[in-house]
Amino acid sequence: MEALDHPAEITFLQDEEGELLLVSSGVWHVATLKQVIPLLERQTRKLSVRSLRWDVSGISSIDSAGMVLIEYYLNLFGKQGIAVEVVGASPEQQKLYQMVASYISAAPKVPEKQSRFLQPIRHLGESVMVFVRDFNAFLSFVGEDFVVLTLLLLQPWKMRYRAIVKHIHDAGVRALPIITLTSFLIGVVIAYQGAVQLQKFGANIFVVDMIGISVTRELAPLITAIVVAGRTGSSYTAQIGVMKITQEIDAMRIMGFEPHRFLVLPRVFAVMIALPLMIFFADIIGIAGGMLVANLHLNISMAEFIHRLQGMLDVKHVWIGVAKGPFFAWLIAMTGCFRGFQVSRDTESIGRYTTVSVVNAIFLVIACDALFSVVLTELGI
């Protein structure tokens, strides 16, 4: 703590012959250099002498950071054509100076900065290249997966059924509470929004049509898939990513355990089985939410609601909603696993790829849903 009591100091003196003398004193440690730098900066800018002497005998203690500072300004004087004579250095200080000077001589070339205007273009180019590379990698990942799947279909007893059941439990059963909550609220929101509009026309009963079709055909599949993407897709990326970092994946490959058979396919199958069931579950809860609001807000009794629902809701809407499940599930599980395999050696990349995997999965689910809408409408279903 004593170092802070005598911070580094420097004074600029002019002796009788007009020669400039720099006198430095105090402790020149990394934590005590702060004060001298502004002074040195100011003074060195307006020097007009050809030579100067630097008296360092007053420095009671100096560390390598202090030496770097002195060396830096000696260099600067040198560049301005000023001859500097350093006096009063102790043998230890000279030794430290030799050492520091040997390490900081020959500064490496700084790579030239690119033009500010070209930067955005460069970034754009880099992003496109990353996208192309990722896309290719994803295609080869899917390819590998299908090869393993084909081989597995020839030897179905080699399938990891236990793992599939475990993943159905993790991704499906344990997600039911949050699915219940979100789909119930979606039903409530739709009913409320519709109720206000429909009441204006006295067409209260049509709220049933609205809830029935929108929930079963679009909202339940989409909301369920988004929840699963956030919950399960991300955890797949993290699980596989950690296994990648700890070299478990390498160990599996060495032992001849194909990672696709052991890690990817059980997860993909599990989500593909669980998601349609969860969508059907979300249909029921969503409609129940709507029914509750219709009952409280629009005075449609539950019996009336169910009667109307039976009359107008074609079963094809439910089927279409449920049928979207496996497609969404495949996208979510594959993206999650693929990003997990992309995790590199550092722990930070787990976080990055987990985020990327969720964003990708949600985007793909919505894009796939849009595709369904277009195709089914064109087909007139």
Partner 1 sequence: MNSVIQVSNVVTRFGSNLVHDGINLSVRQGEIYGLLGGSGSGKSTLLREMIMLQRPQSGEISVLGYDLLSLGRNEAAWLRGQWGVLFQAGALYSSLTVAENVGIKLKEYAGLPGNILQEIVRMKIRMVGLPDYAANLYPAELSGGMIKRASLARALAMDPGLLFLDEPTSGLDPIGAEAFDKLILELREMLNLTVVMVTHDLDSIWTIVDRLAVLGDKKVIAEGSLKEVMSQSHPIIQQFFHGERGRIRVQHGE
Interface with partner 1, residue 127, by CB under 8 A: no
- Token look-up 């202090």 returns 66
Q: What is the DSSP letter of 205?
A: G
Tell me whether residue 100 or residue 190 sits nearer to partner 1 (CB atom). Answer: 100
Interface with partner 1, residue 346, by CB under 8 A: yes
Tell me whether residue 191 or residue 350 sits nearer to partner 1 (CB atom). Answer: 350
Tell me whether residue 76 or residue 213 sits nearer to partner 1 (CB atom). Answer: 76
Interface with partner 1, residue 71, by CB under 8 A: yes
Using alpha carbons, list the distances in angstroms from residue 270 to 173, 232, 279, 326.
11, 11, 14, 10
Q: Provide the phi-psi class of 113: left if phi over 0, else alpha when psi is between -120 and 50, else beta.
A: beta
Closest among 102, 362, 124, 111 to 224, alpha carbons compared? 362
Contact 142, 335 (CB under 8 A): no
Count of other CB atoms within 10 angstroms of residue 87:
11
Interface with partner 1, residue 17, by CB under 8 A: no
Interface with partner 1, residue 80, by CB under 8 A: no
Interface with partner 1, residue 72, by CB under 8 A: yes
Least distance (Å) between residue 69 CB and partner 1? 6
The stretch among 15-23, 26-34, 255-263, 353-361 that binds partner 1 (CB under 8 A) is 26-34
Contact 232, 333 (CB under 8 A): yes
Among 8, 59, 69, 288, binds partner 1 (CB under 8 A): 69
Interface with partner 1, residue 132, by CB under 8 A: no
Tell me whether residue 6 or residue 231 sits nearer to partner 1 (CB atom). Answer: 6
Chain CA centroid to CA 68, Å: 39
Interface with partner 1, residue 65, by CB under 8 A: yes
Contact 167, 267 (CB under 8 A): yes
Least distance (Å) between residue 102 CB and partner 1? 9
- Token look-up 């049928």 returns 323
For binding to partner 1 (CB under 8 A), which residues are involved?
A: 1, 29-31, 33-34, 37, 41, 63-65, 68-69, 71-72, 96, 99-100, 103-104, 107-108, 344-349
